Amino acid sequence: MLTILLDNGHGNNTPGKKSPVWPDGRQLLEWEFNRDIVARIAHRLDEAGIACHRLVPEENDIALAERCRRANQLARQGDCLLVSVHANAGGGSGGEVFTYPGAARSLEYARIFGQRWPFAFPHLRFRGCKEANFAILRESICPALLTENLFMDNESDCQILLSTEGRDTIARWHVDSIQQILQQFYSSR
Ligand SMILES: [Zn+2]
């Protein structure tokens, strides 16, 4: 039995972390996006009968140390996989998944997310599995992934992030990948 720990980064009080205001007047706020995706993932996991827990029900920014404390409290009680959901920025397009350097099991899971990407976004690039010394990845005692879902500062990516279909597709990518992980690593035979 694996429990998915869903982390939505940032809060409504986090500075920066938003897209430009596009010509149509719309703007993506990353804290809202992350929470919406996590809610969609949680809903789909519930439907699929997969245990999950939202680490940050609050709207404001919860310190990383507290998020890790919440995660580790659960991870001490049973098998968990932490997934932290984000939107990327800095110029580019597509998706990527981060793991802590040398975290072998996390990397195996990240590769499954990479394999499942084309089923969700056949016309967008999966930029690869990457390693980073992020606190949420470093401090978690269970396998942990951080997904960067398209670029909020790229107008065409951001239109997908602002759309219901785009958000559903991102949630579907996560749940599909988690189901593959369960099949490959947790099925009884
Ligand atoms: Zn972020």
How do residues 87-128 score in pLDDT, each as one tens digit? 999 999 999 999 999 999 999 999 999 999 999 999 999 999
| Backbone phi and psi for residue 122, each to the nearest 5 degrees, phi listed first | -60, -25
| Interatomic CA distance for residues 67 and 69, integer angstroms | 5
- Give this prediction's pTM: 0.97
Q: What is the pLDDT of residues 29-44, one digit of tens each?
A: 999 999 999 999 999 9
CB contact at 8 A, 46 and 123: no
Could you please state the CATH topology (level 3) that the domain comprising 3-186 is classified under: Aminopeptidase (3.40.630)
Question: 187 C-alpha to center of ligand 1: Å?
Answer: 32
Q: Where are the domains of the chain?
A: 3-186
pLDDT at 189 over 70: no
pLDDT at 1: 87
Question: 9 C-alpha to center of ligand 1: Å?
Answer: 6
**CB count in 10 Å sphere of residue 2:** 17
Q: Which residues pair with 80 in a beta bridge?
A: 3
Question: 72 C-alpha to center of ligand 1: Å?
Answer: 21
| Interatomic CA distance for residues 37 and 175, integer angstroms | 11
Confidence of residue 9 (pLDDT cuts 50, 70, 90): confident
Question: 144 C-alpha to center of ligand 1: Å?
Answer: 15
Q: What is the pLDDT of residues 159-169, one digit of tens each?
A: 999 999 999 99
Question: 147 C-alpha to center of ligand 1: Å?
Answer: 9
Question: 35 C-alpha to center of ligand 1: Å?
Answer: 11
The SS3 call for residue 178 is: helix
Q: What is the DSSP string of 117-155?
A: HHHH-TTS-EEEEEE---HHHHH-SS-EEEEEEEETTSH
Q: Which helix (H) or strand (E) holds 112?
A: helix 104-120
Question: 15 C-alpha to center of ligand 1: Å?
Answer: 11
